[in-house]
Amino acid sequence: MIHVCFAFRDETGSFAKFAGTSMLSVFENISKPLTPVTVHILHDDTLTDDNRDKFSYLAGRYAHAVKFYNVEKLCAKSFEEIDKIFADTDARFNKAVLYKLFVPQVLSANVSKAIYLEPTVLVNHDISELWRVDPGNKILAAVPALAIGSDVHTADRVVADGFVKKENYFSSGVMVMNLNLLRAEESKIFDGLKFAGEHKYFNLLDQTVLNYCFATQTAPLPAKFNCFVRIARKNKEDVEKKIYYYTSYSLQLDMNDAFNRLWMNYLAETPWFDSAAVGKLYESFQQVHIRLKKSLVNLSSVMAGKTRGFCVTPEYVDELKKVFSIRDDEELIVLDDKTALQKVFNSMKDSYGKKVFFIMAQGFPFSALTKAGFTFGRDFLNALEFLSEEQGMSMNSYPLIYAM
C-alpha cells in the first residue's frame, strides 16, 4: 500500500481541484500491476461536501482509497498552543500551511511511511519509484533546494541568519516522511514553531520549521522528484517523466506552454472539470473586462486638470517613453541611485493635487507612498500595469484558473 498525503484549507471551494488534479496524476502514472494507493487529505471545516464527494468518486474510479482528517478538530489542543505562539502575528500567518506537520499524528500508527505532496504538485511520473525510497535512519527525504536549481533558500531568513546551511536546505513540497521517527519528534516541531514565532519567520513558515528541525536529518532525493516549473521553463526544458511543482503563479492559461497544457490535460480528466468550471472561467474573464472598462473611465477622471510625472528604473526608460509618448516638458525621474526615491517624494509633495505620477519599477515601495499620505489611483499609478504582453508584461491568468 502506498500512502500519499495532501493538506490544505479551501475557503472559496475552488482550491480542492488542485489536489484533485495532483491525485489523478498519481493514479494515472502508477505502475502495473496496480499497487493500491490510499490518499490522506488533511483539511478543516472549509472542505465542502461536494469536493469530498469528488475526491471519493475519483479514488473509486481508479480502485484506490481516500481518507479525510479534519486536522484542526483532531489536533485541537495542538492548535490552541499554536494560536498562543503566534498570537501577536499579523495576517501573514496562515495556520493551514502547518497542517502537513500533523501527518504523523493523524495517520494510523500502523502507517510507517507516507509521501507528502503539495496540492499544486503534478506527478507526471510513477509514484512507486518515490515510494521505494527508504529514508533509513533519516526523518525525511526531500530534494535539496540547490539540486532543484532554485534560490528558494535565499527567501528564507532561517538560511540568511545562519540557522540552516544552504547546502542542507530542502523544499518541503515533496517529501517522504519516516512516520515512525517523526511521531517521536512532536515536541521538537513545537520548538521549531516557537523559534519561527520568536524570529518572525512567516514567509515560508512550514518549510522554515521543517528545515530548522530536520535539515541535517533529511536524506537528499534526486531532483526529478521535485522540479519547479518556473525553473524548467527558464531552462527551456521539455516535459518529462518527473514530478513538477507549480509554485507561485507558475500555472497559467497560456496553452502554447507545454507545462500549462500538461496540468490542464490532467484537470480535464477530473470531476472538477465540468460546465460549472467553464462557466466560472467565463465569469472571471467578464469581470476582468468590466474592471478594464472601469479603469479607463477612472483614469480619465484622475487625469482631469492634472499633468503627468514619471518615475522609472533605468532598464525601463526606453519602454516608458515609447508607451506613454513622454513630452520634453514632462517630469521624468530615473531611479538610478539611493537619492532618487527622495526626489520622488519631494516632487509628489510639491505637485500634490496637480500631477499624477506613473511609476515603472519592479518592487517599488508603493506602501511608502501610501504611508506618506498619497493615494493610489489618484496621486500615483503602477505604470507596469499598462504594459502589454508584447512589451514584456505577461498576463497573470492564475487567478482565473483558481476561480474555476
In whole angstroms, give the CA distance from residue 200 to residue 90: 10
CB 342 within 8 A of CB 333: no
36 and 112 housed in the same domain? yes
pLDDT of residue 106: 94
Longest dimension (CA), the chain: 76
Grid coordinates representing 380 are 500615483
pLDDT of residue 232: 92
Task: For residue 225, tell me if it sits in a domain.
Answer: yes
CB 171 within 8 A of CB 207: yes
Task: For residue 365, tell me if it sits in a domain.
Answer: yes
Above 90 in pLDDT, residue 383?
Answer: no
Grid coordinates representing 136 are 533509513
69 and 196 housed in the same domain? yes
Task: Identify which of 34, 3, 244, 41 has the alpha carbon closest to the alpha carbon of residue 123.
Answer: 244
Residues 6+ apart with CB under 8 A from 323: 383, 386, 387, 391
**Would you say how long the chain is, in residues?**
404
Task: For residue 127, tell me if it sits in a domain.
Answer: yes
Note the pLDDT tens digit of each residue in 308-327: 988 888 888 888 788 888 88
263 and 305 housed in the same domain? no
Mean pLDDT of 148-165: 81
Residue 106 sits in a domain whose CATH number is 3.90.550.10
Strands (E), 273-365: 307-312, 331-334, 355-360
13 and 155 housed in the same domain? yes
In whole angstroms, give the CA distance from residue 366 to residue 345: 11
Grid coordinates representing 290 are 468590466
pLDDT of residue 210: 96
262 and 302 housed in the same domain? no
Dihedral sign (CA 329, 357, 360, 345):
positive
Helix, strand, or coil (residue 306) = coil
Task: For residue 232, tell me if it sits in a domain.
Answer: yes
Above 80 in pLDDT, residue 215?
Answer: yes
365 and 224 housed in the same domain? no
246 and 300 housed in the same domain? no
Task: For residue 280, tell me if it sits in a domain.
Answer: no
Note the pLDDT tens digit of each residue in 237-256: 999 999 999 987 888 878 88
244 and 368 housed in the same domain? no
| Sheet with strand 243-245: strands edge to edge | 121-123, 243-245, 227-228
In whole angstroms, give the CA distance from residue 215 to residue 181: 15
Q: In the listed set 209, 238, 273, which residue is the last one of a domain according to the structure?
A: 273
111 and 47 housed in the same domain? yes
342 and 267 housed in the same domain? no
| Domain range for 348 | 295-391
Number of domains in the chain: 2
Task: For residue 288, tell me if it sits in a domain.
Answer: no
Beta bridge partners of 123: 243
Grid coordinates representing 107 are 495517520
Task: For residue 286, tell me if it sits in a domain.
Answer: no
Percentage of the residues of the chain whose pLDDT score is greater than 70? 86
